[in-house]
Amino acid sequence: MKATSVTDIFSKMNDPRVEGRTEHKLTDIIAITLASVLCGAESWNEIEMFGQAKEDWFRTFLELPGGIPSHDTFNRFFALLDPASFENCFREWAGSFSELADGQIISVDGKTLRGAKGAGSRSYVHMVSAWVGENSTLLGQLKVDEKSNEITAIPKLLDALMIKGALITIDAMGCQKDIARSIVDGGGNYILAVKGNQESLLDDIQASFRMMPPAEKVETLDFGHGRIETRRCSIITDLGLMEDAESWQSLSTVVRVNSERYIKSTGEVQTSTRFYISSLKADADTFMRAIRHHWSIENGLHWALDVSFHEDDQRKRAGNAAQNFSIVNRIALTALKQDKLVKLGIKSKRLNAGWNHNYLRALLKF
């Protein structure tokens, strides 16, 4: 599927400014912001500086009736912009890269914007994201004001996505009956991590593995980064010892993953055991791969936003600015991840975008 120009998509948004009192076009502001962030800008001042340095180039495809906006204008615009409308446009644009296939794994997880805590605020801004690691596509995100509010945000985010045929993986925060039900009702399957927040469920799973032989198990061995890691995945499909199994929509399998990591330099051995519930009927190898795949959201999305875009260091606190700038960062990251023109890392691609106008325009289909 051919990706759509960001200016075509985002021109559909309602302009939050007073009609008749604006000298800069909405699409011009968004195009300059996205191009600037792609090339390394992290503040409103840097976006203004980038726009001024590239004004002649921007005029080859933007109207710029009022010239390059000031940093205050960028700040006010994104503070006023409706983040739900911005997010909807982002979701439409991201969806233009690819269509979900049956069995595609969608990882759902939250990330806190630690720099976006204003004076007097009691909490940070927290974003819940849906990520397809296989093709490095962020499908959508939703803001919550507290990490605990992920429980109510996840169903809303999933409702906004087409999840039919997809496999949804979520950490223990999302291990809730309503979330399991919403996934199945949407035509998907779930793998939910189980920890102490579902104590009776965890007790039943542990009892099942103590009292019953696994229906199937698989083992993998990984070498690299100075360590040797052994993973064993076991599944049980007989839910006879699960007292509350019927209340979890379409629950069919419980999963245990044992990991043993040997650190070569110190001789230290680290072990862990994790448990999961799932509506999926599959073999142990499928569960092993899906559970490992879930953590691609940490490396492919959260880590990249912190390391490459320095998201945790950013201090945008006016109105909706923090949430909207997080969407800008994710648009830029998605464009870079989807790029097949050059085989470079994220940092080098951003440098190349700043040096090469043709490459920059190709990234966002300007």
Mean pLDDT in consecutive groups of 10 residues from the start of the chain, 366 residues: 69 83 90 95 96 96 94 94 88 70 84 60 73 83 72 87 92 93 95 93 96 95 86 96 94 97 89 96 96 85 84 71 88 89 92 95 86
Q: Please name the residue that has the structure tokens 């419980």.
A: 254
Model pLDDT for residues 246-298, shown as the tens digit of each residue: 999 999 999 999 999 888 888 899 999 999 999 999 999 999 999 998 888 88
The per-residue pLDDT for 197 is 86
- The beta strands (E) that lie in 203-268 are given as 216-224, 227-236, 253-263
Domain 97-302 has CATH 3.90.350.10: yes
What's the confidence (pLDDT) of residue 204? 96
Show the DSSP H helices in 54-193 as ranges: 55-58, 71-80, 83-95, 150-159, 177-185
Q: What is the pLDDT of residue 103?
A: 77
Return d(Cα 32, Cα 14) in angstroms, integer.
18
Q: Dihedral (C-alpha) 286, 290, 292, 298: value to the nearest 10 degrees?
A: 170
pLDDT at residue 10, rounded to an integer: 84
The per-residue pLDDT for 133 is 81
Q: Where in the chain is the domain with CATH 3.90.350.10?
A: 97-302
pLDDT for residue 357: 95
Structure tokens at 357: 């106008």
pLDDT of residue 255: 98
Given this model, what pLDDT does residue 287 score?
97
